[in-house]
A = this chain, B = another copy of it.
Amino acid sequence: MKRAVVLLSGGLDSATVLAIARAEGFACHALSVDYGQRHDAELAAAARVAAALGAAEHRTAKLDLSMFGGSALTDRTIDVPTGGVKPGEIPVTYVPARNTIFLSLALAYAETRGAEAIFFGANAVDYSGYPDCRPEYMQAFERLANLATKAGVEGRPMRVVTPLISLTKAEIIRQGVALGVDYGLTVSCYQADPEGRACGACDACRLRRAGFLAAGVPDPTRYYAPPAG
Taking a contact as CB atoms closer than 8 A, the residue among B105, B132, B152 that contacts A101 in the complex is B105
- Please, what's the 1-or-0 string for A186-220, where 1 marks a CB less than 8 Å from any CB in chain B? 00000000000000000000000000000000000
Residues of B within 8 A of A174 (CB): none
Contact B131 A137 (CB under 8 A): no
Residues of B within 8 A of A137 (CB): 144, 147-148
In Å, the complex CA distance between A64 and B63 comes to 8
- Known contacts A61-B63, A109-B68; decide if A99 and B148 are in contact (CB<8 Å): yes
Interface size, A (range)? 35 or more
Is A1 part of the contact surface with B, judged by Cβ < 8 Å? no
A69's closest neighbor in chain B, by CB?
Answer: B112
Contact B68 A112 (CB under 8 A): yes
Residues of B within 8 A of A94 (CB): 150
Is A6 part of the contact surface with B, judged by Cβ < 8 Å? no
Residues of B within 8 A of A107 (CB): 96-97, 100
Taking a contact as CB atoms closer than 8 A, the residue among B96, B111, B144, B145 that contacts A111 in the complex is B96
Name A62-89 residues within 8 Å CB distance of B: 62-65, 67-70
Interface centre among A96, A134, A153 (most CB of B within 10 A): A96
**Secondary structure dominating the interface of A:** helix
- Please, what's the 1-or-0 string for A126-164, where 1 marks a CB less than 8 Å from any CB in chain B? 000001101011001101110111101100000000000
Residues of B within 8 A of A140 (CB): 140, 143-144, 147
Is A222 part of the contact surface with B, judged by Cβ < 8 Å? no
Taking a contact as CB atoms closer than 8 A, the residue among B59, B99, B111, B148 that contacts A70 in the complex is B111
- Known contacts A96-B149, A101-B105, A147-B132; decide if A67 and B63 are in contact (CB<8 Å): no
In Å, the complex CA distance between A147 and B70 comes to 18
Taking a contact as CB atoms closer than 8 A, the residue among B90, B97, B150, B152 that contacts A104 in the complex is B97
Q: What are 6 of the A-B contact pairs (CB < 8 Å)?
A: A62-B64, A68-B108, A90-B153, A96-B112, A97-B105, A131-B148
A residues whose Cβ falls under 8 Å from a Cβ of B: 59, 61-65, 67-70, 90, 94-101, 103-105, 107-109, 111-112, 131-132, 134, 136-137, 140-141, 143-145, 147-150, 152-153
